Amino acid sequence: MMQEAVDALAQTGTGVAAARMLGIPRPTLQGRIREARRLGITPTVEEFEPEEHPGRITIKVRDGTVLVGSDAHYWPGIVSTAHRAFVHFCEKLQPAAVIMNGDMLDGSTISRHAPIGWEDRPKLVDEIEACKDRLGEIVKASLSKKTRRIWPLGNHDARFETRLATVAPEYAKVHGVHLRDSFPEWEPCWSVWINDDVVVKHRNRGGIHATHNNTLNAGKTIVTGHLHSLKVTPLTDYNGTRWGVDTGMLAQAPGKGRPTGPQFIDYTEDNPLNWRSGFAVLTFKGGRLLWPEVCHVIDERKGLVEFRGEVIEV
């Protein structure tokens, strides 16, 4: 039990998170850690408590991986290659954390934008059920009880509560009116801070140079979605090398002779789009982030992705 407490603290970096992982009260965890230290079993990291900050989750990863996917815009009846690959990597890597970095929900019928061409859009309840099915597959694939499952809010996700707050503000704080109430397995937030030098959030800066500008202005490695572009941009200065990472999209991106998913066809007007399907894999050794990697969909129809020089069928 002492070793389990030590391992949980090394994995998460905080007493609060370690106690939650083990399903025990925090004082119980602290007692086990003290006893372990008395016997010479020393945690590989010292416990730290993050600064209190609304909407921020702080985790510690010494040795392990973190998977970051975003912009799934889950749609009833559609399971993209990128999603299937994400599930595959959850099973294979058993990551320390799985971060769904915003816009899991599309919210097409609750958008502030007017409908285009009277398009056939799914009911909100059907979108929610699709999200439950897809996210349930990810939860099932990441079998380790140590895996954190975190969901930073995206602008499309925010449509759910924005709509209710606009038309029925009297329902504020009633259980069931928040998006998180439908997904209790996931921890909601605005941002995730890993080892205090990697920040994961749905969006920051915009434009073609967003990844460069994000890390330049943040002063930290920053991992974002929103722009669907899937790329890694290094920046080196007197502080060393850090990265701006765009996690692309878990939804279907356009390809040669193939449009993007139905979520996007009308408002993009069949224009060429600099979008790519895939996700990011963050690997930590001794608490240091190695060069961030991406898994990229190369053939949606055949279910093929590329990663570390290999082509994988999912």
- CA-nearest of 304, 269, 102 to 190 is 102
Whether 66 and 95 have beta carbons less than 8 Å apart is answered as yes
3-state secondary structure of 272: coil
For 211, phi and psi rounded to 5 degrees? Answer: -65, -40
Query: Tell me: the pLDDT tens digits for 74-88?
Result: 999 999 999 999 999
Compute the average pLDDT of residues 18-22: 80
d(CA 20, CA 127): 30
DSSP lists the bridge partners of residue 222 as 199, 244
d(CA 25, CA 22): 9
Domains, the chain, in order of start with CATH, read 1-49 (no CATH), 50-313 (3.60.21.10)
Compute the average pLDDT of residues 203-227: 96
Average pLDDT of the chain is 87
* pLDDT value at 195 more than 60: yes
Whether 225 and 70 have beta carbons less than 8 Å apart is answered as yes
pTM comes to 0.81
Query: What pLDDT, on a 0 to 100 scale, did the predictor assign at position 233?
Result: 98
- CA-nearest of 248, 155, 257 to 210 is 248
Model confidence at 48, pLDDT cuts 50, 70, 90, reads very low
Query: What pLDDT, on a 0 to 100 scale, did the predictor assign at position 52?
Result: 46
C-alpha radius of gyration, the chain, whole number: 20
Query: Tell me: the pLDDT tens digits for 133-160?
Result: 999 999 999 987 789 999 999 988 888 7
Query: Tell me: the pLDDT tens digits for 252-308?
Result: 998 877 778 888 887 788 888 999 999 999 999 999 999 999 999 999 999 999 999
